[in-house]
Amino acid sequence: MAKTNTTELLEALAAEIGENVYIDIAKWHLYLSNAKLHTLVAEQLYPLITSNNVSEDQVSKVLKSITVKIGGGRSELPLSDLLPLQCQVTLVDILEKYQREI
């Protein structure tokens, strides 16, 4: 991959997250790119990559800190509550891949 520019790396990371990670609501899959959350998630998780601190526990902490407004903003839920376990595993795999390649 050899991305030297942080902006390019973040854009590539956000795109991959957006295409592979989704919110599951009543068995409907809303990919993070369609929910406009992929860039925010990439920006929040990027420090884990640069500090070589990618782990399921650390990713889970970040996902819990990101809130998603639902019902027109009447309520908020942590992103971790909306992602199926398999998507969290996929997200960790993506981050580990980027960590190896930078």
Q: What are the pLDDT digits (tens) for 70-98?
A: 999 999 999 999 999 999 999 999 999 99
- Bridge partners of 34? none
Is the distance from CB of 41 to CB of 66 less than 8 angstroms?
yes
Is the distance from CB of 91 to CB of 59 less than 8 angstroms?
yes
What is the pLDDT averaged over residues 5-28?
Answer: 95
pLDDT at 4: 58
The 10s digit of each residue's pLDDT in 20-71 is 999 999 999 999 999 999 999 999 999 999 999 999 999 999 999 999 999 9
Banded model confidence at residue 2, pLDDT cuts 50, 70, 90: very low
Banded model confidence at residue 102, pLDDT cuts 50, 70, 90: confident
pLDDT at 96: 96
- Bridge partners of 28? 25
DSSP 5: S
Tell me the chain's radius of gyration from C-alpha atoms: 13
H helix or E strand, kind and range, residue 100: helix 85-101
Banded model confidence at residue 5, pLDDT cuts 50, 70, 90: confident
